[in-house]
Amino acid sequence: MPNTLAHLGLSGLLTRSLCRDADLRWIYVGAIIPDLPWILQRTLRMFLPSLNVLDLRLYVVVQATLFCSLILSACFSLLSPLPRKTFFILSFGSFFHLVLDAFQIKWANGVHLFAPFDWYLLQFAFVWPERLPTYGVTLLGLIYVVFTWRKIALKPFPLSFTKPQSFLVSLLFLGLYFLLPLFLMGAAEKKDNHFVQTLRNLESRKGKVIEFDRAFYRHGFPEGRLQIFTGESLQVVGLRLDHSSSISVRGIFLDANTVDVKAYELHRGNFRDNATYLGLLLIVVLWACSLFKMWRAPWRFVNK
């Protein structure tokens, strides 16, 4: 996927072309809504390492769909003084985010635009994340956020809690956002999204195609091992890499614990993660600055 900085710049430019006075703070929230489940996954795995990794992956896959993103967009929009307009900004941002993700090459991945009716993972697969086009849109995103910062900070605070009924409905949508994936995980697994079904059934792995995004290859002689997201370490054959590295892999299971590598992509450095962390930090700081300005001079930020 494009990193968060890339999403911020492209979403800001496109959404503002459709709605010129759209609040960039909401545009930036919409640009990261489909990524919030993946952030939740990392957080939960840090603090609750005993969680079933495959079930958690399925839960997050469902929660990152356009369908669930629209539910969270409705939740947030009800906290805005302009709920309809905000819902459009957030839902469009979520849709555009997923379309952009589909253009990236990311094995064992893709986006769900039509779930829960269709669990096919859509991927156009035009470019790897660590390539010049991604670097370009990342720089664009950083420049865009920096140059629009002052204009955003001067605008009224975009939240309103003056309608208790709206707040209650917002909580209902939030509850639906967290509960609904529990009932849809089975459909995602049946379609073998992220190869969860393949990985869960050890006895039937042999002969099946498998893909991994950014697994860690530990170099060894004569063959190395591949550390995957479940924590499992797999023997690999057919991979001629003379050093340990983060790689994406496409191959076939020779048995339950051995993968014959047919293709791989080497990932150097942490550019993707670092650009994402910076983008998320900028969003948090932007909202915190808006809240601080409202607290310092509340009469300037009364929502009309």
Residue 85's pLDDT is 95
**Per-residue 3-state assignment (H helix, E strand, C coil) for 69-127:** HHHHHHHHHCCCCCHHHHHHHHHHHHHHHHHHHHHECCCCCCECCCCCCCCCCECCCCE
**CA distance to 43, 140, 253, per residue, from 15 (Å):** 30, 15, 44
**Beta carbons of 272 and 297 less than 8 angstroms apart:** no
| pLDDT the model gives residue 263 | 95
Rounded Cα distance, 104 and 126, in Å: 6
Q: 126 Cβ partners below 8 Å, 6+ apart? A: 103, 104, 105
| d(C-alpha 272, C-alpha 265), whole Å | 15
Tally of CB atoms within 10 A around 5 = 27
Nearest to 143 by CA among 2, 278, 285: 278
- Are 111 and 121 in contact by the 8 Å Cβ rule? The answer is yes
In the prediction, which pLDDT does 154 show? 64
pLDDT of residue 296: 60
For position 294, what pLDDT does the model report? Answer: 66
pLDDT tens for the chain, 304 residues long, are 579 999 999 999 999 999 988 999 999 999 999 999 999 999 999 898 889 999 999 999 999 999 999 999 999 999 999 999 999 999 999 999 999 999 999 999 999 999 999 999 999 989 998 889 999 999 999 999 999 887 776 677 788 777 889 999 999 999 999 999 999 999 999 999 999 999 999 999 999 999 999 999 999 877 789 999 999 999 999 888 889 999 999 999 999 999 999 999 999 888 889 999 999 999 999 988 887 776 665 544 444 4
> Chain-centre distance of CA 30, in angstroms?
12
- Separation between Cα atoms, residue 298 and residue 24, nearest integer Å: 20
Q: Which of 70, 113, 89 lies closest to 30 in space, CA to CA? A: 89
From-to residues of CATH 2.40.50.140 in the chain: 202-267
- Assessment of whether the complete model's pTM goes beyond 0.85: yes
Q: How far is Cα 217 from Cα 285, in angstroms, rounded to an integer?
A: 36
Instruction: With residue 297 as reference, give the H or E element that holds it.
Output: none
Rounded Cα distance between 23 and 73, Å, is 15
Tell me, which fold does domain 202-267 have in CATH?
Answer: OB fold (Dihydrolipoamide Acetyltransferase, E2P) (2.40.50)
Res 16: pLDDT: 93
Reading the block at residue 80, the tokens are: 């805005």
- Two tokens, residue 243: 């050093």
For residue 34 the two structure tokens come to 């489909």
| pLDDT attached to residue 299 | 46
d(CA 87, CA 66): 13
